[in-house]
Structure 1
Amino acid sequence: MNFDHARWQRRLDEFRAARHVPGAALAVLVDGEIHELASGVLHRGTGVEATPDSVFQSGSIAKVYTATLVMQLVDAGQLRLDSRVADLLPGFELADGELAKNVTVGQLLSHTSGIAGDFTRDTGRGDDCLARYVEACREVGRDCPPETVVSYASTGYAILGRIVEVLTGQTWDNALRERIFEPLGLEHSMTLPEEALRFRVAMSHLGELGTDPEPAPVWDMLPRSGGPYGRVLFTAADLIRFARMHLENGLAPDGTRVLSAESAAVMRQHVMDTPDTWSFMTSGWGYGWALYDWDGVAGYGHDGASGGQFSYLRVVPGRGFAAALLTNGGEATSFFVDLFQELLGDLAGVRMPDIFAPAAEPPAVDVAPLAGTYEREGVRLTIGERDGTPWVRAELIGGMADYSPPLEAELVPVSDTVLAMPGMGPVSAPWLPLVFGTLPDGRPYVYFGMRAAPRV
């Protein structure tokens, strides 16, 4: 199949401009070839042009890199999916002693541990940052019982990063460089800001949806301890080269085996469905990958967000297809859906669903049973009614408190158990679903952003 570079450049430019995205880079793997495109600017203040060799922040796509390192250790016989974290990290503590004693590597990889997932702690720039982060995890509780719901946990991936360090004798950064970047020839991938300064680097942009965002006050707010869950820096083409290794069941283009075929398959093995299939458009979760089902066509991938930059990766293994989109602000999720519905439809023969939104005429719903305050690590949501209209107050708390001020908004009913919240603050989607349910221990919870928050 011929890749019509001019056509896709035109569509990239059109969709980007329509969604107020300052700059973007796109890489597509089709018929064994990687095609690279870019559009817009890296920094609206300086006007520096986005190019295919521009470096963006990954956000949570970094988790797939950490999961790959962990599965390499499985290949080496140094751990198993059912290995207990406490056996690998002597002295490991959580606020929930029973959880600390029994939580496993596999539960962390699949976001089914129940650990409070957004524990943020700046432990400095030293090589001991992850060791100090894990020590601080003694303050971290749980959001839900293990293996009851997929509750997305960045905390767990920082802990996995520390396990990598202990078992390899390297920092997470060096392990990633030597075990993944170098074997795959990823010359435009790195983990530290000072390494990124060698290249054209995208600046984050922030602003209200539907407006042209302005450059953020700082390039990145993530501490070094957040690397295993949130900071790999790369070009779109380097991300596709990493994805191609997984598509080839662990083989690099030169035949070097980076990961066993068995471990590559395990990473995309279905572990559990998700209550919310809209936010990430997932059908479930594996041991590192988000899983998709496009009308019977299986796929996998991951999304990421970091301080105004948003990244998207989709792989359709049955078609030998992969595509990566990197952006630096604006209505990035709508831009992604606009572009990828067309891209995957034409080049991979699959139909991505539409972006989540409530109906033009929403149903009448009694919100009273859903009202209350819900909390998880870093976030508090208060659900109630004002003049007969459902509303929400969203606050970042604890270590997340400095990221955004409290926000309030009206909610739109979707069903008796789903409410739509307008996209607020540093988000890139117009609507976010709030899905309400009950945990096995009887506690009501709200599920949003792929995380469970029990009612308190």
Structure 2
Amino acid sequence: MADFRRDSIVDFCRDSGVPGYVAGISRAGEQTVFAHGTANLTTGAPMRDDTGFLFGSITKVMTATLVMRQAELGRISLDDRVTDLLPGFRLTTPGAAERIRVRHLLNHTSGIDAELFFPRTSYLERLGRDCGSLFPAGEHLSYSNGGMIVAGHLLEAVTGRAYHELLDTEIFQPAGMTAAGTGAEQAILRSTAIGHFPDPDTGQARPTRMFMLPPTWAAAGGTPIGTVEDLLAFGRAHLGAGLLSGESLAAMREINADPGTPGASPTGLGWLLRPIGDTIALTMTGASPGGVAVLAVLPEHDLVFAAYGNDPRALELHDDLLGRLAGDTGRPVWARQETDPAPYAGTYRSDQLRIDVRAVGGELEEQITYEPADPDQERILTGLAGGPFTAPPTRYVPVGAGLFAPAGLPLDGLPAHYLVSYHDGAAYRCAGGRMARRVLE
């Protein structure tokens, strides 16, 4: 990695308070890994080149890759109805599950309303009892943990093998991910980072109290653990080195769905397709309790970038390094527009979240309320978030038709993922690629 990038990592961690960071680049057959800081503030263990970490949602690309491998074997078609292959799959919205095809699970258009659904056991049974649909399959794009978890159960149904076994034998081993594993029992035998959260008063990092999400979230990213070199190996496999045919790799890179807003990326199959400069990066970010990983593949540059920071604030460094690698030194520029915010006021809901939106003085004010399904799920989300899931009301200013940016932040250079958008005549609100449906209350 170029010296200025090493310096930028050191400087960022010092200035932000992120305890540790590890990043790697593979380009045209050459590979570099650089680690800095501390992997675990409780023990003082250093972050090393070979330190393991939770992959988080990067696992979703692996799940999609497993489905594509089964499609190549003729066991699955992307146009199959999920209920035909997985009869136990149900949703509380009548007829919604029957409309979902396999490709809807992979491109985040299934509409399954289960983004924060954390049952410890019997995921499919609980899904059919407790979760409905945000929208009919294929009509919108909303980042979906539930869709990928259902894809994991689908893989088990059509192969007769456990998801973790498939991940190990069909992804880790053939891709050369030699240090990757699927649980804390393996991670404890090697150097492994834990997550940290910034103290809301001092900004100082404190260790997480929950290492990983429940095993029911395996296919969405709850359990797989490995190193930067493991992620680089997986990324190289998506440049054409051995996991899938060229035809399947190309299908995963094609735009399957586009939210039509700068605040969320179009999707392929598994991948988010993020425009950066003059190229498209195949990306996925992986959050874990107090940590954030990233994997990006830039086919036009023959480049793979992977990184992990053990504090959520590291996401800013991920974006900066990836932009530099892609040759994009520009920053988005937004401008306030005089738009009547009143049509967007109302109450919006998604799984266990309520968003109350008011029009105030030419701006929108949003209040997000978490309404946990049960105490156990509240404990899990609290562990993932590093504390109670509460936030004060947030003001937004209009910067386009149905597009709003947080008030009080500089619009010049504001990253697009800060934006909130409204769709279908304000029938839906989208933030971070996740939809909520407007309701009458």
TM score, norm. by length of structure 2? 0.88
- The equivalences for 1:22-421 within 5 A come to 22-124=19-121, 132-138=122-128, 139-207=130-198, 211-220=203-212, 222-231=213-222, 232-248=224-240, 251=241, 257-278=242-263, 282=265, 284-345=266-327, 351=328, 354=331, 362-385=336-359, 390-399=364-373, 401-402=378-379, 403=381, 404-413=388-397, 414-421=399-406
Classify 1:10/1:389 alpha carbon distance in 2 versus 1 (closer, same or farther; 3 Å): same
Could you tell me how far apart the structure 2 residues matched to 1:32 and 1:247 are? Answer: 11
Could you tell me how far apart the structure 2 residues matched to 1:416 and 1:180 are? Answer: 43
Q: 1:446 Cα shift?
A: 0.5
- State the number of aligned residues: 419
Give the counterpart letter for 1:49 in structure 2: P
Q: 1:364 Cα shift?
A: 4.4
Could you say what secondary structure the match of 1:392 adopts?
strand
Could you tell me how far apart the structure 1 residues matched to 2:69 and 2:357 are? Answer: 44
For structure 1, the 5+ residue unaligned runs are 125-131, 252-256, 346-350, 424-428
Could you say what secondary structure the match of 1:94 adopts?
coil
Could you say what secondary structure the match of 1:135 adopts?
helix
Q: 1:152 Cα shift?
A: 0.9
Q: 1:122 Cα shift?
A: 2.6
Could you say what secondary structure the match of 2:26 adopts?
strand
Deviations 1:100-135 (A, max 9, x none): 1121100111111112141523334xxxxxxx2112
- Is the 8 Å Cα contact of residues 391 and 408 (structure 1) preserved in structure 2? no
Deviations 1:152-190 (A, max 9, x none): 111011110011111222110111001111122212211
Q: 1:285 Cα shift?
A: 0.7
Could you tell me how far apart the structure 1 residues matched to 2:333 and 2:206 are? Answer: 26
- Is the 8 Å Cα contact of residues 27 and 34 (structure 1) preserved in structure 2? yes
Could you tell me how far apart the structure 1 residues matched to 2:176 and 2:416 are? Answer: 38
Could you tell me how far apart the structure 2 residues matched to 1:230 and 1:396 are? Answer: 22
- Is the 8 Å Cα contact of residues 263 and 432 (structure 2) preserved in structure 1? no
Identity of aligned residues (%): 29
Could you tell me how far apart the structure 2 residues matched to 1:31 and 1:332 are? Answer: 27
Q: 1:212 Cα shift?
A: 2.6
Q: 1:388 Cα shift?
A: 7.0
Could you tell me how far apart the structure 2 residues matched to 1:234 and 1:75 are? Answer: 27
Classify 1:211/1:330 alpha carbon distance in 2 versus 1 (closer, same or farther; 3 Å): farther
Could you tell me how far apart the structure 2 residues matched to 1:80 and 1:389 are? Answer: 46
Classify 1:228/1:51 alpha carbon distance in 2 versus 1 (closer, same or farther; 3 Å): same
Q: 1:409 Cα shift?
A: 2.8
Deviations 1:48-95 (A, max 9, x none): 110111111122111001101111100110010001111111232111
1:21 corresponds to: 18
- Is the 8 Å Cα contact of residues 357 and 431 (structure 1) preserved in structure 2? no
- Is the 8 Å Cα contact of residues 421 and 431 (structure 1) preserved in structure 2? no
> RMSD across aligned C-alpha pairs, in angstroms?
2.4
Give the counterpart letter for 1:234 in structure 2: G
- Is the 8 Å Cα contact of residues 276 and 448 (structure 1) preserved in structure 2? no
- Is the 8 Å Cα contact of residues 26 and 325 (structure 1) preserved in structure 2? yes
- Is the 8 Å Cα contact of residues 339 and 362 (structure 2) preserved in structure 1? no
Could you say what secondary structure the match of 1:313 adopts?
strand
| Counterpart among 430, 436, 439 of residue 453 in structure 1 | 436
TM score, norm. by length of structure 1? 0.85
Classify 1:158/1:353 alpha carbon distance in 2 versus 1 (closer, same or farther; 3 Å): farther
Could you tell me how far apart the structure 1 residues matched to 2:407 and 2:43 are? Answer: 31
Classify 1:227/1:420 alpha carbon distance in 2 versus 1 (closer, same or farther; 3 Å): same
Could you say what secondary structure the match of 1:291 adopts?
strand
Give the counterpart letter for 1:173 in structure 2: H
Could you tell me how far apart the structure 2 residues matched to 1:422 and 1:56 are? Answer: 35
Higher mean C-alpha displacement, 330-339 vs 366-375: 330-339
Q: 1:353 Cα shift?
A: 5.5
Classify 1:13/1:153 alpha carbon distance in 2 versus 1 (closer, same or farther; 3 Å): same
Could you say what secondary structure the match of 1:45 adopts?
coil
Classify 1:29/1:327 alpha carbon distance in 2 versus 1 (closer, same or farther; 3 Å): same
- Is the 8 Å Cα contact of residues 205 and 308 (structure 1) preserved in structure 2? yes
Give the counterpart letter for 1:104 in structure 2: R
Could you tell me how far apart the structure 1 residues matched to 2:396 and 2:164 are? Answer: 43
Q: 1:37 Cα shift?
A: 0.8
Could you tell me how far apart the structure 2 residues matched to 1:230 and 1:215 are? Answer: 20
Q: 1:357 Cα shift?
A: 8.2
Could you say what secondary structure the match of 1:412 adopts?
strand
Could you say what secondary structure the match of 2:255 adopts?
coil
- Is the 8 Å Cα contact of residues 291 and 301 (structure 1) preserved in structure 2? yes
Could you tell me how far apart the structure 2 residues matched to 1:286 and 1:189 are? Answer: 25
Deviations 1:276-330 (A, max 9, x none): 3335xx3x11111111233442321111212221111221101111101111114
Higher mean C-alpha displacement, 376-385 vs 29-38: 376-385
Could you say what secondary structure the match of 1:97 adopts?
coil
